[in-house]
Amino acid sequence: MSHHRRRRPAAAVLCAAALLALAGCSAGPEPTPPAPPPARIAASAAPAPTATSAALARSLPVRVQLPAAGVDARGILDLGLNADGTVEVPSVAQADRIGWYAKGVTPGETGPAVLIGHFDTARGPAVLKDVSRVRVGDEITVTREDGTAAVFRVRELEQVDKDAFPTRKVYGDTRRPELRIITCGGDLVDGHRPDNIILYADLVTARPA
């Protein structure tokens, strides 16, 4: 299946300190809530699979399940670009939901589908608060509008400083269906989390939802 090149965010994507709520990057000025689990993961990777499930046709995501982190999110948000070219993120009021970067491919199509969620916000822990429990080999299931469930397997876990965000690695074209889940990480510094945590996963099967 051919993959059409799409507009990719600039290197500043997911790195701008001005985006206070970028995937749960800011605790804000409100009273500090109970401390959430550590915003850190053990970086690890497995070899890329020699074969993956065949690519699927375009269909919007409606549910994301990541059992290892206790995630079962419905009502997936469509995220675009802000006026400055950075990627939108769910609002603080939507901290229990996951967003999909709608200018990219849908989960299951050839290319990297990108999902974004908060680790925490000024109101406390959010949808990806337990991301540190995820390990290589864990499964992520994305239910799609067409009634299929695209099952991905985590291949790599990465935690990086936002100033060194791997834009090409995350958003660049791939030859197979892949998935990224992005949130924030690191210890709070002046109300912000300085890192991004990124999960990279490959499509392994598709089944009826």
Write out pLDDT tens, residues 120-165. 998 999 999 999 999 999 999 999 999 999 999 999 999 999 999 9
DSSP annotation of 92: G
Tokens matching residue 190: 């002046």
Which structural domain range is residue 163 located in? 53-208
In a domain, 44, yes or no: no
Instruction: Give the per-residue pLDDT at 12.
Output: 35
Q: Which of 155, 182, 136 is nearest to 52 (CA)?
A: 155
In a domain, 35, yes or no: no
Phi, psi values for residue 31, rounded to 5°: -55, 140
Domain count, the chain: 1
Q: Give the CATH number, domain containing residue 166.
A: 2.40.260.10
In a domain, 184, yes or no: yes
What is the pTM (predicted TM-score) of this model? 0.83
Tens of pLDDT, residues 157-189: 999 999 999 999 999 999 999 999 999 999 888
In a domain, 145, yes or no: yes
Coil, strand or helix: which one is 132?
helix
In a domain, 20, yes or no: no
In a domain, 186, yes or no: yes
Mean pLDDT, all residues of the chain: 85
Residues contacting residue 66 through CB under 8 Å, at least 6 positions apart: 134, 138, 140, 181
Q: Report d(CA 206, CA 209) in Å as an integer.
A: 9
In a domain, 47, yes or no: no
Whether the pLDDT of residue 2 is over 80: the answer is no
